[in-house]
Amino acid sequence: MVTPPRCSFESAVEPVAVAGPRLGRLTTAHGVVETPTFMPVGTQACVKGLAPDQVRATGSRMILGNTYHLALRPGAERVRALGGLHAFMGWNHPILTDSGGFQIFSLADRARVTECEVEFRSHLDGRSIRFSPERAIAIQEDLGSDIAMVLDHVVGLPAPIEQVRDACERSIRWAERCLAARSRSDQGLFAIVQGGLDADLRVDCARRLAAMPFDGFAIGGLSVGESAEDMRRVLDVTCPVLPAHRPRYLMGVGTPEDLLDGIARGIDLFDCVLPTRNGRNGMAFTDRGPLKVRNAKHQDDPGPLDPDTPSAASGLSRAYLRHLFLAGEMLGPILLTCHNLAYYQRLMADARRAIAGGSFAEFHRAKREGWTRRGS
C-alpha cells in the first residue's frame, strides 16, 4: 500500500518567487489546489447556508474547518468514527483545520492561557475545555483534515509589546510541541508566524519557524484590529523570510483588495468569513464595488446582480433578489453567498492568469480602481 504524501507545494513558474506574486500547486491527500486561492470558511463542517455541491459550483476546491468548534460539537472522536471530516460533511476535496488559537483572541473572556495549555469555558454549556499543543494535534488527526495548524497564542491589536513578545515566544514553543506530537503521514502541518506589528519580532519568529520541518507557514495575528497599511507592512517584512518552496497562508484576511495586496507580496492561501457573512446580510461583491440589494434603488431594477460573475444568482434580477431579502426568504442569503464565493474564486482565477501572463501589477491596479468607485 502506497502512503500518500502529507502535502507538497511546487511552483508553476521556475524559479519560485521569494516575494511578489507566485503561481503554485498545493498537493494534498484529497487533491491538488492551484494557488493563489481562497478557502471558504466552514467553521461547523459546513459553509453556512450551502450544500457541498453549491460550494463546488462556486469554483471552491479547498475549505476551512474549526478545531475548537468541532471538538465541542459533534466531537472529534465522533467525526473519526463516522469516517473523518471529509466523509462526515460530504466534501471530497482538501480541508484545512484551524487549531483553536484564534479562539484565544475571539473568546478571550472565556480563555485562560498558561505555558502548558489554554483552558476555555465552552460558549455552549460553560464546561471546561483544555487545549494543549498536543491535544490540538490529536483533535485534528481525529478529524482527518489534509492540513492541520499548530496551536498558537493570538492577541488582539494594539497590545503592549511585552504581551506580544510573550505570546510570540509561546507560539514558537507550542509549534515545536505540535511537531513532536504529529503522527499522521497523510496530514500536512503548518506553523504560524506571530509578532504583532513589530517587524523585528515577525522576522525573528519567521526565521526560527522556517528552520523547522513544517509543510507550510501561515501569517497569523492579523485582521484583529490593525489597519490595512499595518497588515501590508507586516507582509512586506515577513514573506521574504519564509521558505520559497513552502506555501504561505494569510489567516482570516479578507476583502478583495486585501487578497490582491497579499498576492502581490507572495501569499498563496487565504480564508475569511467576509464573502459568506456579507452575502447573508445582503451585500454582493462586484468589480464596481459593493452592491447592497436591500437598497430601495433596486426595487424596480430588472438588471442582473453582476453580469461578470456567473453564479446561482445569474439570470435573476436585482428587484427579485431585493424582494427575497425584504420578504425574509432564505433563498436570498443563499444566492448572495453563492455569488460572493463565485466572485472570490473568479478573482483568484483571474489573478492566476495575470501572474502567468506577467501582468499582475496592471490587473491589481485596474481592480483597485473599480473597487474605489462608489458602491450601489
The string of DSSP codes covering 39-71 is EEB-TTSS-TT--HHHHHHTT---EEEEHHHHH
Q: Tell me, yes or no, whether 287 and 264 share the same domain.
A: no
First to last CA, the chain: 56
Residue 2 has pLDDT above 60, yes or no: no
192 belongs to a structural domain: yes
Q: How buried is residue 24: exposed, middle or buried, by Cβ count under 10 Å (0-12/13-18/19+)?
A: buried
246 belongs to a structural domain: yes
Q: Tell me, yes or no, whether 309 and 267 share the same domain.
A: no
1 belongs to a structural domain: no
297 belongs to a structural domain: yes
Q: Based on the structure, what is the number of domains in the chain?
A: 2
pLDDT one-digit tens code per residue, 129-173: 999 999 999 999 999 999 999 999 999 999 999 999 999 999 999
In this prediction, residue 1 carries a pLDDT of 42
pTM for the whole thing?
A: 0.96
Q: Tell me, yes or no, whether 232 and 286 share the same domain.
A: no
In this prediction, residue 374 carries a pLDDT of 61
106 belongs to a structural domain: yes
- CATH code of the domain in which 82 resides: 3.20.20.105
Distance of CA 181 to the CA centre of its chain: 24
184 belongs to a structural domain: yes
Q: Please report which confidence band the pLDDT of residue 260 belongs to, taking 50, 70 and 90 as the band edges.
A: very high
The span from the CA of 331 to the CA of 313, in Å, is: 10
| Residues 165 and 97 sit within 8 Å (Cβ to Cβ) | no
Domain that holds residue 335: 280-371
Q: What is the mean pLDDT of residues 179-184?
A: 98
In this prediction, residue 315 carries a pLDDT of 95
Cell numbers at residue 172, please? 514558537
Return the higher-pLDDT residue of 196 and 2. 196
* Residues forming the active site: 98, 271
Distances in Å between the Cα of 65 and the Cα atoms of 180, 185, 220, 329, 345 are 23, 20, 16, 27, 18
| Residues 235 and 214 sit within 8 Å (Cβ to Cβ) | no
Cell numbers at residue 267, please? 501569499
pLDDT one-digit tens code per residue, 325-352: 999 999 999 999 999 999 999 999 999 9
Give the position of cell 472565556. Answer: 110
Residue 12 has pLDDT above 90, yes or no: no
2 belongs to a structural domain: no
Q: Please report which confidence band the pLDDT of residue 6 belongs to, taking 50, 70 and 90 as the band edges.
A: confident
Q: Tell me, yes or no, whether 254 and 289 share the same domain.
A: no
Q: Tell me, yes or no, whether 183 and 285 share the same domain.
A: no
Q: Please report which confidence band the pLDDT of residue 14 belongs to, taking 50, 70 and 90 as the band edges.
A: confident
In this prediction, residue 131 carries a pLDDT of 96
Q: Tell me, yes or no, whether 204 and 334 share the same domain.
A: no
The residue among 216, 237, 271 that closes a domain is: 271
Residue 189 has pLDDT above 60, yes or no: yes
Give the position of cell 507560539. Answer: 171
What length is written for the chain?
A: 376
pLDDT one-digit tens code per residue, 26-53: 999 999 999 999 999 999 999 999 999 9
3 belongs to a structural domain: no
The residue among 271, 299, 329 that closes a domain is: 271
Q: Tell me, yes or no, whether 259 and 128 share the same domain.
A: yes
Return the number of other C-beta atoms located less than 10 Å from residue 371's C-beta: 18
Residue 278 has pLDDT above 60, yes or no: yes
Q: Tell me, yes or no, whether 39 and 161 share the same domain.
A: yes
Q: Tell me, yes or no, whether 205 and 296 share the same domain.
A: no
The residue among 224, 240, 271 that closes a domain is: 271
Q: Tell me, yes or no, whether 227 and 349 share the same domain.
A: no
Q: Tell me, yes or no, whether 237 and 325 share the same domain.
A: no
Q: Tell me, yes or no, whether 108 and 25 share the same domain.
A: yes
The span from the CA of 341 to the CA of 273, in Å, is: 10
pLDDT one-digit tens code per residue, 282-331: 999 999 999 999 999 999 999 999 999 999 999 999 999 999 999 999 99
Arithmetic mean of pLDDT over the chain: 95
Q: Please report which confidence band the pLDDT of residue 212 belongs to, taking 50, 70 and 90 as the band edges.
A: very high
Look up residue 2 and give its DSSP letter.
P
In this prediction, residue 11 carries a pLDDT of 86
Kindly give, in sequence order, each residue whose CB lies less than 8 Å from that of residue 342, ignoring residues fewer than 6 positions away: 57, 58, 59, 309, 310, 311, 312
